[in-house]
């Protein structure tokens, strides 16, 4: 399975180092990869790929075997593998540092809920924020916080499992109100809309919280 890394990155600039890492990684996997394919994978112009290839070749990181104008093979060298692995570890270290910062903030949020006596919660919004919070929560075996299920306005998500938890219709929240200590809004984009939806179904404002720092009391 090939993951399109650059299309999912919002907080890192696609530097030359990242693009060279991706080029070396693709060439190692497939010696017959084309420059058009490399351009698409690295979100670069074909002309830039040609320049990258020349630089990598000059630095002894790969060897180009040109059989014909349209038939070219690329071989990553031992030095190229060493460079690729170094870039990969460096990139991973930066991601880990960012994850640790995120994890620290989420753990603080969870502990704050626990200190208020909150034990059973529901997430409103089955998206990226909920996914990350769930991952951190699973890494906190000592936590007493229990996620019961998620709700979402997207009809396609309802009835499915999200990170192992059921996603249900928000309109059913009132049926479970007695079991729920707090509904946590986990969508930044639709935060106000979600709050209004909850108030429309007469969900108690004191039982609504947002991961993004707002309590609706």
Q: Report the DSSP pairing between strands 146-151 and 120-124.
A: parallel
Question: Of 76-80, 140-144, 174-178, where does the model show the most confidence?
Answer: 76-80
Instruction: Tell me the pLDDT of the chain averaged across its residues.
Output: 90
Residue 44, Cβ density class (10 Å: 0-12 exposed, 13-18 middle, ≥19 buried): buried
User: Does residue 1 surpass a pLDDT of 50?
Assistant: no
User: Among 14-18, 169-173, 211-215, which stretch is predicted with the lowest mean pLDDT?
Assistant: 211-215
Can you tell me the mean pLDDT for 59-66? 93
pLDDT at position 216, please? 46
Q: What is the DSSP string of 82-104?
A: HHHHHHHHHHHHHHHHHHHHHHH
Residue among 49, 55, 57 at smallest CA distance from 74: 57
CATH 1.10.10.10 occupies which residues in the chain? 5-97
What percent of the chain stands above pLDDT 90? 72
Tens of pLDDT, residue by residue over 175-214, are 998 999 999 999 988 999 999 999 999 999 999 999 987 5
pLDDT at position 215, please? 56
CATH 3.40.50.720 occupies which residues in the chain? 116-210
pLDDT at position 156, please? 95
Residue among 178, 180, 128, 123 at smallest CA distance from 151: 123
Q: Report the DSSP pairing between strands 72-76 and 62-66.
A: antiparallel
Residues 6+ apart with CB under 8 A from 163: 130, 131, 134, 135
Specify which residues 150 forms β-bridges with: 123, 167
Residue 36, Cβ density class (10 Å: 0-12 exposed, 13-18 middle, ≥19 buried): exposed
Quick one: fold of 5-97?
Arc Repressor Mutant, subunit A (1.10.10)
User: Does residue 11 surpass a pLDDT of 80?
Assistant: no
Can you tell me the mean pLDDT for 72-88? 95
pLDDT at position 5, please? 57
Can you tell me the mean pLDDT for 103-110? 94
User: Does residue 93 surpass a pLDDT of 50?
Assistant: yes
Structure token pair of residue 157:
């998500």
Residue in the block written with tokens 């969900």: 203
Q: How far apart are CA 3 and CA 106, in angstroms?
A: 26
Task: Give the right CATH number for 116-210 from 2.40.10.220, 3.40.50.300, 3.40.50.720, 3.20.20.140.
Answer: 3.40.50.720
């Amino acid at each position: 399975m090939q993951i399109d890394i650059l299309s999912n990155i919002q907080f890192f600039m696609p530097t030359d180092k990242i693009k060279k890492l991706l080029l070396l990684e693709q060439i190692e996997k497939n010696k017959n990869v084309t420059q058009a394919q490399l351009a698409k994978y690295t979100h670069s112009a074909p002309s830039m790929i040609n320049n990258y290839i020349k630089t990598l070749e000059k630095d002894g990181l790969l060897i180009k075997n040109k059989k014909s104008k349209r038939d070219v093979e690329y071989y990553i060298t031992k030095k190229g593998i060493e460079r690729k692995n170094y870039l990969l570890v460096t990139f991973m270290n930066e991601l880990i540092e960012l994850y640790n910062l995120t994890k620290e903030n989420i753990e603080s949020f969870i502990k704050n809920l626990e200190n208020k006596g909150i034990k059973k919660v529901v997430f409103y919004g089955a998206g990226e924020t909920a996914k990350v919070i769930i991952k951190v929560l699973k890494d906190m075996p000592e936590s007493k916080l229990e996620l019961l299920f998620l709700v979402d306005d997207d009809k396609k998500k309802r009835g499915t499992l999200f990170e192992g938890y059921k996603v249900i219709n928000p309109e059913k929240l009132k049926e479970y109100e007695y079991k729920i200590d707090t509904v946590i809004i986990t969508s930044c984009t639709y935060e106000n809309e979600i709050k209004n939806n909850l108030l429309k179904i007469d969900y108690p404002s004191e039982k609504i919280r947002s991961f993004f720092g707002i309590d609706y009391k």
